[in-house]
Amino acid sequence: MSKTAVLFAGQGAQTVGMGRDLAAAFPTARALFDRADAVLAHDLTRVCFDGPEAELTRTENAQPGIYLVSWVALTLLRERVPGFEFQATAGLSLGEFTALAAAGVWSFEDGLKLVRARGQYMQEACESTRGGMAAILGLDEAATREVCAATGVTLANLNCPGQIVISGDADRIPAAVEAAKARGAKRAVSLPVAGAYHSPLMASAQPKLAAALAAVTSHAPGVPVIANVTAQPHGALDTIADTLVQQVTSSVRWEESIRYLLAQGFTRFIELGPGTALTGFLKRIDKTATVLNVADVASLEATVAQLSAA
């Protein structure tokens, strides 16, 4: 029997209108949007459905918005496929919080409040620093690390073969981009982001996030949750918060995380939430894996059909 892992997207997956058709089609989804608005005392539904894009893109809106749409996707999949189970979960950056909620570490409401707070703290860090990021395509990890060392920036995301993201002081990113091109990168381009995520410039968010995590009741995960920082399952319950705090300034080891799951015999992966970035990464990592996704009504129906047939 195939082993299934569910995957949750990170910041950048947001798009105006996300979740709208799911809420229109399914009362369960609509109820979750209403619940989120009540929990946050904030009209997150309006921001997700109608934007404007600049408002949705703000870290304190994008993070809870993506979390919410991802949770809606998981809830609807469970509703439509009775007995649906997964044997592990992982999420990219913000998505790691969604993965932990999916594994039962904390409630939907507590997870939502955590990612809203995390987004606020990271937005504050962005506004108090001058950070930037760049995507490096077609250059291996060793060469990219040399570029980072030479230009004083940080390796932020190891997404898949041929796609790495770097992060650091905005004044240093252009030099890093040129250095990557000189080393043979097929493409190196600055990204339109608010700050230097997963770099030391985010350090001011860490003590605030630690305090927020300490205030939440947590439970041992019901299935393995792969940590971005280690590319291994989270360990003892009392270490989860420390790992999440460390994640704010550490590299996201996504390719390694997926390779760990593949080595454990996972053959089916389901991306839940807006966008299909993780699906794209997975196809670059292992073309033989089965990859499904739920982002809207059409992809939900397609995934339900495939799971039901299996």
Instruction: State the pLDDT at residue 2.
Output: 83
219 is catalytic: no
Spatial separation of the C-alpha atoms in residues 203 and 85, rounded to whole Å: 37
Domains present along the chain, CATH in parentheses: 3-127+200-309 (3.40.366.10), 131-191 (3.30.70.250)
Determine the Cα angle at 265 with ends 262 and 268, to 5°: 70
Instruction: State the pLDDT at residue 125.
Output: 95
Instruction: State the pLDDT at residue 159.
Output: 96
How many CA atoms are closer than 13 Å to the CA of 23, on its beta-carbon side?
A: 19
Q: Establish whether the linkage from the previous residue to 52 is cis, with ω within 30° of 0.
A: yes
257 burial via Cβ count (<10 Å: 0-12, 13-18, 19+): buried
Low pLDDT (below 50) residues in the chain: none
* Active-site residue, from 70, 93, 167, 199: 93
Contact 22, 299 (CB under 8 A): no
Two structure tokens written together for 230: 């280690």
- List, in sequence order, every beta strand (DSSP E) within the chain: 3-8, 88-91, 131-137, 154-160, 163-169, 187-191, 225-226, 266-272, 290-294
Give just the sign of the alpha carbon dihedral 275, 103, 248, 256: negative
Q: Which residues have C-beta within 8 Å of that of residue 215, sequence separation ≥ 6?
A: none
Contact 292, 271 (CB under 8 A): yes
Q: Which residues have C-beta within 8 Å of that of residue 104, sequence separation ≥ 6?
A: 219, 221, 222
Instruction: State the pLDDT at residue 209.
Output: 98
Spatial separation of the C-alpha atoms in residues 112 and 242, rounded to whole Å: 19
* Active-site residue, from 42, 107, 167, 198: 198
198 is catalytic: yes
Question: How crowded is residue 54: how many other Cβ atoms within 10 Å of its Cβ?
Answer: 9
Instruction: State the pLDDT at residue 192.
Output: 82
Instruction: State the pLDDT at residue 1.
Output: 66
Please give the DSSP secondary-structure letter assigned to residue 271: E
Between β-strands 3-8 and 88-91, what pairing exists: parallel, antiparallel or unpaired? parallel
- Residue 88 one-letter amino acid: A
